[in-house]
Amino acid sequence: MIDGIIHCLVVLLLPPLLIGIITKTKAAFAGRVGAPLLQPYYDILKLLRKGSVFSTTTTWLFRAGPLVTLAAILTASLLVPLGRHPALISFDGDLILFAYLFGLARFFTASAALDTGSSFEGMGAAREVTFSCLAEPTLFVALITLARISGSLRLSTILTYPTPALWRATGASMLLLVAALFIVLLAENCRIPFDDPTTHLELTMIHEVMVLDHSGPAFGLILYGAALKLLVLGALFTAIALPVSTGSDLADWGLFLASMAALAVAIGVVESVMARLRLVRIPQLLVGATILSAFAMLLVLR
Amino acid sequence: MNSLADQLLVLVMLINLVMLGSSRLIFSIRAVAAQGVILGILPSLVHPLSFHLVAITASIILAKGIVIPYLIGDAVHKAHIRREVEPFIGYLPTLFLGAVCTALAFVFAARLPLAPEHRSLLVVPASIATLLTGFLILTTRRKAISQVIGYLVLENGIFVFGLLLTEAMPFMVEAGALLDLLVGIFVMGIVINQISQEFSTIDTSRLRALKEE
Amino acid sequence: MNLTGEPTALLLTAALLLALSGLPGLLPRFAVLGQRLTVTLAVAASLLGGGGLLRLMTGTTGAVYQLDWPLPFGPALLATDPLSTLFLLPLLLVSGCAALFTPTYWPAATRRDAGRLTFFSGLFGGGMMLVLLARNGVLFLVAWEVMALAAYFLLTTDQRDGGVQRAGTIYLLATHTGTMALFVLFALLKAVTGSFDFPPSHTLTPFSPVAVVMLVAALVGFGAKAGLMPFHFWLPGAHANAPSQVSAMMSGLMLKMGVYGILRVFLFFTDLPTWCGWLLLALGGWSALNGIALAAGQRDLKRLLACSSIENIGIVFIGIGMSLIGSRTGSPVLVLCGLMGAFIHIVNHALFKPLLFLGSGVLIHGVGTRELDRMGGLADRLPVTAFLMLVGGLAICGLPPLNGFVGELFLYLGALYDGMTAPLPLVALVAPTLALVGGLAVITFVKAYGVIFLGNPRSRRAEEVHRPGPGMVAPMVLLAVLCLLAGLFPLGLVRLVQPAVGFYSGRAVDWSLLGPLQPPLGPLLLMNGLLLALLLFLALFYRMRLHRLPRGTVPTWGCGYQAPSPRIQYTGASFSELAVNLFGPMASPRRSRPRLSGIFPAPGASFGYRAAELLLEQVLTPLFSWSGQAFSWLRRLQHGRVHIYVLYIFATLFVLMIWGR
């Protein structure tokens, strides 16, 4: 019960902090002081109190897009175990629903982008759907591999099964899985090297350009949704990459928060030391990730 | 045989894929060098320590990891080429083919009549996968330098297989094989340099024009 | 026995009524009245048949009727079973919807060919019903040909267009090549069992050489009708050129007759060999992936939908293949999940694809073109259609909470289970394949939806679009509501196909066979509810904020460009280009571009893009033209002199008499 409440609180409150940590890390690398850690919270709260501007071209779908997207990601967040605690809802095959809820979110984000009639947003939408399409098989191959290791089709079991002992036993394949999932994590959340969320040139962006015309509360919801997506996929990643458990519930929650913060720092470091890939190389990297996960599966089979 | 050796072999197979996917020649050469260093470390993990072993390890790392890559890198530098421009098959398809070959290598390895103590290891699949990758590079790339890299990968594959036999295989045979290759690389390096000076291209598909009528 | 309520009798009456429903439309004087009468009859037939189906589904067993015809093929049997019921249900629904759609879309008052259209529509539907009820090889073939030929006449309704004629000819060639294979199949059936009647379930052995030929013939004959790759080449042209409600019936129903045929023939055999399962799985996976890759590159709305039909048929075959593999390897989970997935997808596809095709009819009616890049901005002008098409688009992408997800869920479950337990989990590859297919489907349908309905109108005609009449919208509403209901309450869908799954697998559906793995139908309902509740909450919250805060309206920001026009919007071709290039050989785009010699292209230079049909253009057409030349000497036999023709007849008779002695 308490775990459930903490789960909801984490889902509702933590996401913007991750973005804050990433920006702070990048600022540190650039030798700046950077915005305060809580800046994303201020941004979202401010946006919720601002008026909106709508394009004359847009229809109801433009307004519905951010809402459906956020609803889908929120629903997905109930399925993923945070830390070492089982998710609020768990059933056989929930991982399929999990992946498809992101598909639903993508459909609406991309459609809302096309609703503005701007070619920049069309470009962003096209890139988003294409790259996610290539990232999806990786996720499934990785989840099948983990399902085979853990003998279950529930995310809650699959993701709480890995332990340090398992890492020692099947290290190579776990390492490959972690690498593949990290690539998927960066691609799905539109981070460098796939997309640069802070560039000032619309032509080169993916996610940010899709939401260019949103404003006011809707944009606040979009920012929160993007951060939440990072949290949800990040939780999936850390469950495999840092499978440490202390045995005590509260300590586990603390460990979870620490691991998420570490992940945010890691993403910040990647963003500071890497450049964005050329667009034509992105599919190559995503296919490479699929091959990595397939390789992991092959090793588990042996 | 321990699990560390297995993990290194996984790394060898990953480097294969990296080479298939990369277009920059310098990067490929570095990858081959890294593969060579890993191959040098492997025998010392597999066999009990001896002077003989240390000598092999050192010489392999020196040859595969430093000398040969340096020579090819020099050739690349002199010939002023940076990337493989037009492979016969694109990078994504070759990468995919490489993945298929790796999977097939596991299938072949499972069918080979191996000694039971070798069955559970990654040595045989890794060797076959590396061999096939070498063939892939040789058949799909145009530049002579890429071909040399392909030969090197091929040789690495054979070397991995040899790991199983190091005890049975006299040291001299191994060294002889290495020497052969070294000479081969030398010849190729010289030839490439000459060709690129004469014809300002080292695209092998254009070398067909050199045949006698 | 109370004959009036007997389900098979009801269904046969409905088939007859449907087949003859087009007759009033042929009356030249009373075309408008005739068309109305036709629609009434067709809908009545659907309701009548629906009554029969309801009785079948509530547990009444249908009677078996014997047709004592004077033909020398033995008495023909007509019967129903759960497998036919599964296919009859969408048939009656969609043919009813298509009939309702016709009067507004193809009004007899203005269209001279309306009578022909409704006549053959009825015959088409009736033929398909007979296909499903026939239990005799010859009767089956007769019904099959009625269906196939009616479809030909339907598809060539619009005779002014040269493309239509060409598509019709290709269709005719394909369907008759398939029928030829079916002749082989049923002739061998007669040779094996001694009669043209369908043998009882699970009686023939599949391991004799004859059986192998039969299986291959069934795969070719029925696969050609289903549009399974590599027999799909006729499909995009045929679906694109037919009137929209006919495309809806062809895609939603006729393709399924191919699936039905294969299932029916498989049912004859005791236990099918493993290669059969793997072959179906491979062909299904190929069709699914290649079909949707083709669809992503299309510029023509109806071709896009047609190519996505290839994909959906592929998904159905993946399920069938999975179940066959499962039954050979002794894995009840694969059997159950494969069949459930395939059968649910059959029903689903018959809901959302006709919905989308009818929607394409509305758009063609309104804008006058099938070309995506000439539409745009229609969500403002056709709000109801836009919403209904959104439902269809979400459903066909298999996204929750719509019905498409339910079928795919079972296939994923089977694949994941295989990946979890099998020693060599090759079936598990279905999961990443389906994921890729799903991703491509999202690309395809976001593109189609965005280019058609969102943004600014890209042409004058899109700006001045005609609104559809209620007769066109009503059937779409019905189909969309069914999609929503089936998606929100997945248990209903499962209950619907459960008898067919039980009948086909030869044992009642027993979920406990799955062991600890349970299909997540209850949780899915919960998740659907949660999703909608969250959406409702967010919508209310957003609405509240919007009302409190100031609001402004300006044109879309164009990055400072001062003279934007609708033509600078991202086109459908550009939207899908990234993906199409990645799947290059599968999607086979053809570009024509000018040679650039300076900074600007020469005046009058143009860039062209179209999605090519590789098999048709590069293999079949050259093959046919080559064989046409190679056998041109045979044309000497045909010279127009009647007395020589009589000689041919005489000679044939003579030969037959000698041979038959």
Residue range B79-130, pLDDT digits in tens: 776 666 667 777 888 888 888 888 888 888 878 777 766 666 788 888 889 9
Region C463-480 average pLDDT: 91
pLDDT at C2 over 70: no
Name the residue among C612, C335, C587, C266 with its Cα closest to residue C447. C587
pLDDT attached to residue B161: 79
**A286 to chain C, minimum CA–CA distance in Å?**
12
DSSP per-residue letters across A43-88:
HHHHHHTS-EEEETT--HHHHHHHHHHHHHHHHHHTTSPBTTBPPS
CB–CB contact B10 A298 (8 Å): no
Q: What is the mean pLDDT of chain C?
A: 89
Q: What is the mean pLDDT of chain B?
A: 76
Neighbour count for residue A16 (Cβ, 10 Å): 24
pLDDT attached to residue B96: 85
What are the CA-CA distances from residue A97 to residues A55, A93, C370, C593 (Å)? 34, 7, 34, 43
pLDDT at B174 over 80: no
Grade residue B175 by pLDDT with cuts at 50, 70 and 90.
low
What are the CA-CA distances from residue B66 to residues A272, B29, B33, B38, B70 (Å)? 31, 10, 7, 12, 6
Contacts of A237 (CB under 8 A, 6+ apart): A178, A181, A182, A185, A263
Region C316-324 average pLDDT: 95
Nearest to C557 among A75, A139, A212 (CB): A212
Q: List CB contacts (< 8 A) between A201 and chain C.
A: none
pLDDT attached to residue B213: 47
**What's the DSSP call for residue C571?**
P
Q: List CB contacts (< 8 A) between B13 and chain A.
A: 295
CB–CB contact A294 B13 (8 Å): no
The span from the CA of A133 to the CA of A286, in Å, is: 10
The span from the CA of C578 to the CA of C619, in Å, is: 27
pLDDT at B173 over 80: no
Asked whether the beta carbons of A3 and A156 are under 8 A apart, the reply is: no
Chain A contacts to B (CB-CB under 8 A): 171-172, 175-176, 283-284, 287-288, 291-292, 294-295, 298-299, 302
**Residue C225 is which amino acid?**
K
**A174 to chain B, minimum CA–CA distance in Å?**
11
Grade residue B197 by pLDDT with cuts at 50, 70 and 90.
low
Which candidate in A287, A292, A293 is best for mutational testing of the B interface (most B CBs within 10 A)?
A287
The span from the CA of A223 to the CA of A41, in Å, is: 10
The span from the CA of C246 to the CA of C118, in Å, is: 10
Q: What are residue C300's DSSP bridge partners?
A: C371
Residue C634 CB-density burial (10 A; 0-12 exposed, 13-18 middle, 19+ buried): exposed
Omega before C401 cis (within 30°)? yes
Judged by a CB distance cut-off of 8 A, whether residue C432 touches chain A is yes
CB–CB contact B95 A175 (8 Å): no
**Rg, C-alpha atoms of chain B:** 18
Q: Are strands C589-592 and C551-554 parallel, antiparallel or unpaired?
A: unpaired
pLDDT at C147 over 80: yes
Tokens found for residue C180: 């030829």
Region C303-322 average pLDDT: 95
Q: Are strands A52-55 and C551-554 parallel, antiparallel or unpaired?
A: parallel
pLDDT attached to residue C286: 94
Judged by a CB distance cut-off of 8 A, whether residue B2 touches chain A is no
**Rg, C-alpha atoms of chain C:** 26
For chain A, domain boundaries: 2-301
Asked whether the beta carbons of C65 and C9 are under 8 A apart, the reply is: yes
Handedness of CA A150, A184, A284, A140 (dihedral sign): positive
Name the residue among C255, C346, C248 with its Cα closest to residue C305. C248
Judged by a CB distance cut-off of 8 A, whether residue B108 touches chain A is no
The span from the CA of C562 to the CA of C556, in Å, is: 11
Neighbour count for residue A30 (Cβ, 10 Å): 9
**Rg, C-alpha atoms of chain A:** 19
pLDDT attached to residue A5: 92
Judged by a CB distance cut-off of 8 A, whether residue B3 touches chain A is yes
3-state secondary structure of B171: helix
Which candidate in C416, C444, C536 is best for mutational testing of the A interface (most A CBs within 10 A)?
C416
The span from the CA of A18 to the CA of A233, in Å, is: 12
Nearest residue in chain A measured CA to CA from B2:
A169
Q: Which residue has the tokens 């044309």?
A: C635
Least confident of A64-78, A134-148, B51-65, C328-342: B51-65
HSE, CB side, 13 Å, CA atoms: give it for residue A121.
Answer: 26
CB–CB contact B99 A294 (8 Å): yes
3-state secondary structure of C204: strand
pLDDT at C370 over 80: yes
Asked whether the beta carbons of C506 and C201 are under 8 A apart, the reply is: yes
The continuous run of DSSP H or E covering B158 comes out as helix B144-163
pLDDT at C640 over 50: yes
Tokens found for residue A235: 């939780």
Name the residue among C295, C556, C314, C290 with its Cα closest to residue C447. C295
Tokens found for residue B64: 């595969």
Asked whether the beta carbons of C431 and C419 are under 8 A apart, the reply is: yes
Nearest to A284 among B13, B95, B120 (CB): B95
**A22 to chain C, minimum CA–CA distance in Å?**
27
Asked whether the beta carbons of C215 and C206 are under 8 A apart, the reply is: yes
pLDDT attached to residue C441: 96
Nearest to A298 among B91, B92, B106 (CB): B106
Q: Which of A16-25, C452-461, C500-509 has the highest mean pLDDT?
A: A16-25
Q: List CB contacts (< 8 A) between A92 and chain C.
A: 413, 516-520
pLDDT at C589 over 80: no
Asked whether the beta carbons of A153 and A198 are under 8 A apart, the reply is: no
The span from the CA of C30 to the CA of C32, in Å, is: 6
ipTM: 0.95
pLDDT attached to residue C1: 41
Region C276-294 average pLDDT: 94
pLDDT at C515 over 80: no
- Residues B87-91: contacts with CB under 8 Å, at least 24 apart: B87/B140, B87/B141, B87/B142, B87/B146, B88/B139, B88/B140, B88/B141, B88/B142, B89/B140, B91/A284, B91/B20, B91/B21, B91/B22, B91/B23
pLDDT attached to residue B192: 66
Nearest to B95 among A171, A287, A302 (CB): A287
Q: Which of B51-60, B176-185, C413-422, C560-569 has the highest mean pLDDT?
A: C413-422
pLDDT at C625 over 60: yes
Q: Which residue has the tokens 């890993």?
A: B38
Q: What is the 3-state secondary structure (H, E, C) of C98-142?
A: HHHHHHHHCCCCCCCCHHHHHHHHHHHHHHHHHHHHECEHHHHHH
pLDDT attached to residue C295: 92
Judged by a CB distance cut-off of 8 A, whether residue B73 touches chain A is no
**B115 to chain A, minimum CA–CA distance in Å?**
17
What are the phi and psi torsion angles at A242 (to 5°)? -125, 70
**A284 to chain B, minimum CA–CA distance in Å?**
6
Q: Which residue has the tokens 């959104």?
A: C390
Judged by a CB distance cut-off of 8 A, whether residue C491 touches chain A is no
Nearest residue in chain C measured CA to CA from A113:
C450
Buried b (16+ CB within 10 A) or exposed e, C94-121: bbbbbbbbbbbbbebeebeebbbbbbbb
Q: Which residues of chain A have pLDDT under 70?
A: 200
DSSP per-residue letters across A210-251:
HTTT--HHHHHHHHHHHHHHHHHHHHHHHHHHS----S-HHH
Grade residue C43 by pLDDT with cuts at 50, 70 and 90.
very high
The span from the CA of C646 to the CA of C555, in Å, is: 77
What are the CA-CA distances from residue C85 to residues A71, C264, C268, C343 (Å)? 38, 13, 18, 11
